[in-house]
Amino acid sequence: MITRLLLCFVALGLAACGEQKSTAEQAVEQQSFKWKMVTTWPKNFPGLGTIPEDFAKNVEQMSGGRLSISVYGAGEMVPALQTFDAVKSGAAQIGHGAAYYWKGKIPAAPLFTTIPFGMNAQETNAWFYHGGGLQLWQKLYEPFGLVPYPGGNTGVQMAGWFQKEINSLDDIKGLKMRMPGLAGEVIADLGGIPVQLPGGELYSAMQSGAIDAADWVGPYNDLAFGLYKTAPYYYVTGWQEPGAALEFIINQQALSSLPEDLKKIVEIAIEAANANMLALYTAKNNQALQSLKEKGVQIRKFPTEVIEALKASSQKVVKQLVASDPQAQEIFSSYASFLQQAAEYHELTELDYYKNRRGLNWQDSATATE
Amino acid sequence: MITRLLLCFVALGLAACGEQKSTAEQAVEQQSFKWKMVTTWPKNFPGLGTIPEDFAKNVEQMSGGRLSISVYGAGEMVPALQTFDAVKSGAAQIGHGAAYYWKGKIPAAPLFTTIPFGMNAQETNAWFYHGGGLQLWQKLYEPFGLVPYPGGNTGVQMAGWFQKEINSLDDIKGLKMRMPGLAGEVIADLGGIPVQLPGGELYSAMQSGAIDAADWVGPYNDLAFGLYKTAPYYYVTGWQEPGAALEFIINQQALSSLPEDLKKIVEIAIEAANANMLALYTAKNNQALQSLKEKGVQIRKFPTEVIEALKASSQKVVKQLVASDPQAQEIFSSYASFLQQAAEYHELTELDYYKNRRGLNWQDSATATE
């Protein structure tokens, strides 16, 4: 016993004994945390589901295992649309989904996902991080004990899948269409019947005829759900979700209990995940569109009459929301003035550039020497 | 002495003595690293300089102080265009700049910054992270002991500042214009005289008449340098840098010496910085354009004849590079096939969406109830 004690003494040295307290402090800093993440997507669904999985792995690696996050798909722990409540109650510490799913609880929430004919992905991220958008979002969720963050963006989406062609406004009347958020109200304003369904239920709802048309995301995700088997017409150039922002929500108490380094790790890993999703969709969507064309899908665009009516109704729906809800008024006032500037600037840059670039065959340059 | 020894024994317990080895291991994991970062920008220059500063702060916080990075502006440790050599030699562990500055050392490097009439920011990030671009970039720098990463993007830039209007191709002949990268060769092909200068020297070069025209970045940065005082005409819709990617370069040995958690922290903090720069520029550029207009700057666009000639010359310059350099051939082959797909997809989504959105006055909706 004495021998062992002496060995310990020799190995540690007196200084080590003197530092005992700081070792104890270090132990607190080195405490491990186990979080559960609930999501509104099927487990490992391409992009929407895999990006939160990647985020969890990154956090585990960056924290040297001190913060590990188990990810649950829709229905594994709670149904898709109960993730808000699960994170609010603390049953899960973090969730991934989209703000417009919570419009029944918070009328202004959909403004943080996307606004029909509003900002695209690049503009939305600029507004969140450098235009005051994220502060407004966090203020809106504060009474629920939740902290939201931008959780990825799918880019300009497609207008959706239709059993019949849309040749005039009459074709929207009576149309039962899956359409979440403010765009659902636009469909209603034009005489259609919006239906709210989580993604995983779209295929069977289309197959059974419960709905006549479905908005989901874009070629990459629509292909994954097999929606091309349910309808012949694919309308491109989405008006309804020009830059749909997903969200991470974190239980405020769980976040506060983390030491400062882990808080920063979570925050920065979320920023990286947010950007990575847009890069993924940009890379995958066109490939998937080619596959859909090969499967015989017929690509369509809405006639101008329909675009203009959708635009007018979108403005009406937003005006109604803003007039009925002071929080929506404050948020949309910030959004609209930011969008006005961004749209002017992008007319001279992004839009003009896309047009100027036309007609160049880069593939030809690449193979010039072969 | 014995008393103190006994106290130590009591405080630590036998288990602590038994765990001595793992405490020693922990000490290695907890080792601190101090890095130096050299950049090609003036210290704290808006965006280009502040984003690397933010990155360094984030890494320090995420690592609990185990990796601290001191940031040096151009000329503080080495001149702007010697950052590559400083990081290669290990004098600095990390650098921030742009790949096209190294075209004298690596002919294919400019392909990773931007290609005239090539990808915009969203497409470039998609190619880097999900189209094989980053792997090709890291392979290109490997023989130099350097690991490159995307280090931010400024979005579609402006065409630049001109002393005289450009009404035809004749106005480019003999024009001395600051223009880095492949676009400089395009200017030369059209009879102009491209000049390579770091940003910090543009103002005096324009004032002294050493150059007749200058490409820098866009309103946010051009305003910061006061370039509007040096020329009356501001040409918009850049053709030369549709999505200029900045870069972080890390000394391979310095990176390898980090434990796994710090490596991941650096990687993810870089991803976040890359995205954050684009959001910052998107937010700041339009505000700055309004300020420039108020200062009497005259906004101009190139005539179609000039755009088409720039396009043809750009294709010629890229073909020459590809034909003369097998590495450029491999890289551009990947780039071109990715761009072809992305351009087709963005015609149906981003471009069409920008057009469909026109004419809505969102400000009007925001103030409807006031």
- Identify the structural domains of chain B with CATH numbers, from first to last: 32-155+244-282 (3.40.190.170), 160-242+295-339 (3.40.190.10)
Residue of A nearest to B242 (CA): A353
**A246 Cβ under 8 Å from any chain B Cβ:** no
Measured between beta carbons, which residues in chain B are less than 8 angstroms from residue A12? 8, 12, 17, 20
Measured between beta carbons, which residues in chain B are less than 8 angstroms from residue A332? 365-366
Task: Name the residue among A62, A282, A284 with its Cβ closest to that of B123.
Answer: A282
The mean per-residue pLDDT over the stretch B186-202 comes to 94
Tell me the average pLDDT of chain B: 91
How many CB atoms are located within 10 Å of the residue A112 CB? Answer: 27
Cβ within 8 Å of residue A340, ≥6 positions away: B362, B363
Residue of A nearest to B243 (CA): A350
Give the residue ranges of DSSP H helices in B295-325. Answer: 304-324
Contacting A residues, span 131-170, partner chain B, CB-CB under 8 Å: 131, 155-158
Per-residue model confidence (pLDDT) at position B363? 79
| Binary contact (A368, B9; C-beta < 8 A) | no
**What are residue A62's phi and psi, to 5 degrees?**
-65, -30
CA distance A65 to A61: 6
How many CB atoms are located within 10 Å of the residue A268 CB? Answer: 25
Measured between beta carbons, which residues in chain A are less than 8 angstroms from residue B131? 283
pLDDT in tens, B126-182: 999 999 999 999 999 999 999 999 999 999 999 999 999 999 999 999 999 999 889
**How close does chain A come to B232, measured CA to CA in Å?**
18
CA distance A31 to A29: 6
Per-residue model confidence (pLDDT) at position A5? 37
| Binary contact (B122, A353; C-beta < 8 A) | no
C-alpha dihedral sign at B338, B341, B347, B353: negative
Per-residue model confidence (pLDDT) at position A367? 65
C-alpha dihedral sign at A363, A364, A366, A367: positive
Measured between beta carbons, which residues in chain A are less than 8 angstroms from residue B125? 275, 278-279, 282
Task: Name the residue among B20, B290, B307 with its Cβ closest to that of A11.
Answer: B20
CA distance B205 to B200: 10
Per-residue model confidence (pLDDT) at position A363? 79
Measured between beta carbons, which residues in chain A are less than 8 angstroms from residue B237? 348-349, 352-353, 356
| Binary contact (B17, A7; C-beta < 8 A) | yes
Per-residue model confidence (pLDDT) at position A16? 38
- Residue B32 buriedness (CB in 10 A; 0-12 / 13-18 / 19+): exposed
CA distance B56 to B266: 9
**What are residue A197's phi and psi, to 5 degrees?**
-145, 140
For residue B293, what is the enclosing H or E element? helix B260-294
CA distance B339 to B325: 20
| Binary contact (B261, A4; C-beta < 8 A) | no
- 3-state DSSP percent of chain B in helix, strand and coil, to 5: 55, 15, 30
CB B103 within 8 A of CB B112: no
CA distance B161 to B29: 52
Per-residue model confidence (pLDDT) at position A111? 97
pLDDT in tens, B207-239: 999 999 999 999 999 999 999 999 999 999 999
Tell me, what amino acid is at B81?
A: L
| β-pairing verdict for B193-195 and B176-178 | parallel
| Binary contact (B12, A14; C-beta < 8 A) | no
| Binary contact (B237, A353; C-beta < 8 A) | yes
Considering only CA atoms, which of A318, A350, A40, A313 is closest in space to residue A197? A40
Bridge partner list, B177: B194, B213
- Residue B331 buriedness (CB in 10 A; 0-12 / 13-18 / 19+): buried
pLDDT (tens, 9 = 90+) of chain A, 370 residues, equals 333 333 333 333 333 333 444 565 566 567 999 999 999 999 999 999 999 999 999 999 999 999 999 999 999 999 999 999 999 999 999 999 999 999 999 999 999 999 999 999 999 999 999 999 999 999 999 999 999 999 999 999 999 999 999 999 999 999 999 998 899 999 999 999 999 888 889 999 999 999 999 999 999 999 999 999 999 999 999 999 999 999 999 999 999 999 999 999 999 999 999 999 999 999 999 889 999 999 999 999 999 999 999 999 999 999 999 999 999 999 999 999 999 999 999 999 999 999 999 988 887 777 654 3
Tokens for B116? 């005239």
**A298 Cβ under 8 Å from any chain B Cβ:** no
Measured between beta carbons, which residues in chain A are less than 8 angstroms from residue B286? 341-342, 344-345
| Binary contact (B260, A118; C-beta < 8 A) | no
**A276 Cβ under 8 Å from any chain B Cβ:** yes
Tokens for A82? 């109960």
**A27 Cβ under 8 Å from any chain B Cβ:** no
* C-alpha B364, offset from chain centre: 37
Per-residue model confidence (pLDDT) at position B16? 38
Identify the three-state secondary structure at position B107: coil
CB A104 within 8 A of CB A95: no
CB A362 within 8 A of CB B340: yes
| Binary contact (B333, A271; C-beta < 8 A) | no
| Binary contact (A8, B11; C-beta < 8 A) | no
Per-residue model confidence (pLDDT) at position A207? 96
**A367 Cβ under 8 Å from any chain B Cβ:** yes
Considering only CA atoms, which of A240, A245, A247, A236 is closest in space to residue A317? A240
Tell me, what amino acid is at B249?
A: I
Measured between beta carbons, which residues in chain B are less than 8 angstroms from residue A301? 352
How many residues are present in chain A? 370
**B333 Cβ under 8 Å from any chain A Cβ:** yes
The mean per-residue pLDDT over the stretch B7-11 comes to 37
**What are residue B206's phi and psi, to 5 degrees?**
-70, -45
For residue B290, what is the enclosing H or E element? helix B260-294
Tell me, what amino acid is at B71?
A: V
Bridge partner list, B251: B146
pLDDT in tens, A104-163: 999 999 999 999 999 999 999 999 999 999 999 999 999 999 999 999 999 999 999 999
CB A228 within 8 A of CB A295: yes
C-alpha dihedral sign at A336, A340, A342, A347: positive
Looking at chain B, which runs of residues are DSSP E strands? 33-39, 67-72, 94-97, 146-153, 160-162, 176-178, 193-195, 213-214, 233-235, 245-251, 298-300
| Binary contact (A368, B322; C-beta < 8 A) | yes
Considering only CA atoms, which of B101, B92, B97 is closest in space to residue B37? B92
Task: Name the residue among A278, A314, A351 with its Cβ closest to that of B122.
Answer: A278
pLDDT in tens, B97-133: 999 999 999 999 999 999 999 999 999 999 999 999 9
Per-residue model confidence (pLDDT) at position A282? 96
3-state secondary structure chain A: CHHHHHHHHHHHHHHHHHCHHHHHHHHHHCCCEEEEEEECCCCCCCCCCHHHHHHHHHHHHHCCCCEEEEEECCCCCCCHHHHHHHHHHCCCCEEEECHHHHCCCCCCHHHHCCCCCCCCHHHHHHHHHHCCHHHHHHHHHHHHCEEEEEEEECCCCCCEEECCCCCCHHHHCCCEEECCHHHHHHHHHCCCEEECCCHHHHHHHHHHCCCCEECCCCHHHHHHCCHHHCCCEEECCCCCCCCCEEEEEEEHHHHHCCCHHHHHHHHHHHHHHHHHHHHHHHHHHHHHHHHHHHCCCEEECCCHHHHHHHHHHHHHHHHHHHHHCHHHHHHHHHHHHHHHHHHHHHHHHHHHHHHHHCCCCHHHHHCCCC
CA distance B273 to B284: 16
**A31 Cβ under 8 Å from any chain B Cβ:** no
Measured between beta carbons, which residues in chain B are less than 8 angstroms from residue A122? 121-122, 155, 278-279, 282
CA distance A159 to A163: 13
Bridge partner list, B96: B39, B248
Per-residue model confidence (pLDDT) at position A29? 67
Task: Name the residue among A118, A323, A335 with its Cβ closest to that of B369.
Answer: A323
Best residue of A220, A362, A367 to probe chain B, by most B CBs closer than 10 Å: A362
| Binary contact (A237, B356; C-beta < 8 A) | yes
- Per-residue CA distances from B339 to A213, B117, B275, B336 (Å): 32, 10, 20, 5
CA distance A227 to A292: 10
| Binary contact (B368, A29; C-beta < 8 A) | no
Neighbour order of strands in the sheet with A33-39: A67-72, A33-39, A94-97, A245-251, A146-153
Bridge partner list, A70: A36
**How close does chain B come to A259, measured CA to CA in Å?**
9
What is the pLDDT confidence band of residue B8, given thresholds at 50, 70 and 90?
Answer: very low
Measured between beta carbons, which residues in chain A are less than 8 angstroms from residue B235? none
Predicted confidence (pLDDT) at residue B2 exceeds the cutoff of 80 = no
Contacting B residues, span 197-226, partner chain A, CB-CB under 8 Å: 218
| Binary contact (B332, A366; C-beta < 8 A) | yes
CB A258 within 8 A of CB A33: yes
CA distance B194 to B176: 6
Cβ within 8 Å of residue A154, ≥6 positions away: A47, A48, A121, A217, A218, A221, A241, A243, A244, A246, A277, A278, A281
